[in-house]
Structure 1
Amino acid sequence: MARGFKRRDGRFVAKLDAVERGLVVGLMEQVLELVEPEPTAGNELDDDATDGDEFDRIVAGLGGIGMGVSLSAADQAPELSGSVPQPRDPALERIFPTANRQDDQVAAEFRRLTEDGLRARKAANLTTAITALSALEDQKISLEQPQALALLIALTDVRLVLGERLGLKQDDDFDRLEEQVSGLEDDDPAVYALAVYDFLTWLQETLAHALAP
Structure 2
Amino acid sequence: MAKAFRRSGRGADRRFVATLDADEREVVASLMDQVHDLLEPPGHPSTGDDAFDDLVAGLDLTGGDEPPAPVDEGPRDPALDRLLPSAHREDDAAAAEFRRLTEGGLRHRKARALAASAAVLRADADKVALDEGQARSFLTALTDVRLVLGERLDLRTDEDLELLERAATSLDDDEPLVHVIALYDFLTWLQETLAGALLRG
TM-score when scaled to structure 2?
0.85
Q: Among 180, 189, 198, which residue is 1:202 paired with?
A: 189
Structure with greater contact order relative to length (CA < 8 Å, sep ≥ 6) = 1
Instruction: Quote the sequence identity (%).
Output: 53
Q: Per-residue deviation at 1:38?
A: 2.5
* C-alpha contact 1:73 1:88 (8 A) present in aligned 2: no
Confirm whether residue 163 of structure 1 aligns to residue 167 of structure 2: no
The answer to whether the 8 Å contact 1:61/1:190 transfers is no
1:6 aligns with 2:6: yes
Partner secondary structure for residue 13 of structure 1: strand
Q: 2:63 aligns with which of 72, 79, 83?
A: 72
Q: Give the aligned CA root-mean-square deviation in angstroms.
A: 2.5
Please state how far the C-alpha of 1:73 moved relative to its aligned partner: 8.0
Are positions 1:173 and 2:160 aligned together?
A: yes
Length, aligned pairs only: 190
The question of 1:95 aligning with 2:88 is answered no
**CA contact 1:59–1:190 (8 Å) conserved in 2:** yes
User: What secondary structure, in the 3-state scheme, does the structure 2 residue paired with 1:141 have?
Assistant: strand
Measured against aligned partners, the alpha-carbon deviations of 1:116-139 in whole angstroms (never above 9, x if no partner) come to 01011101211221121111x242
Any unmatched runs of 5+ in structure 1?
Answer: 63-68, 75-83
Structure 1 counterpart of 2:29: 25
Q: In the TM superposition, what whole-angstrom CA distance separates every residue of 1:161-197 from its partner, at most 9, and x where no partner exists?
A: 0100111122311001101111111111010000000
Larger Rg: 1
| 1:52 and 2:50 aligned | yes
Structure 1 counterpart SS, 2:158: coil
Match of 1:77 in 2: none
Normalization by structure 1: what TM-score?
A: 0.81
Q: Choose from 127, 133, 143 the match for 2:121.
A: 133
Per-residue deviation, 1:61: 6.1
Structure 1 stretches of 4+ with a deviation exceeding 6 A read none
Cα pair 1:17 1:138 within 8 Å, conserved: no
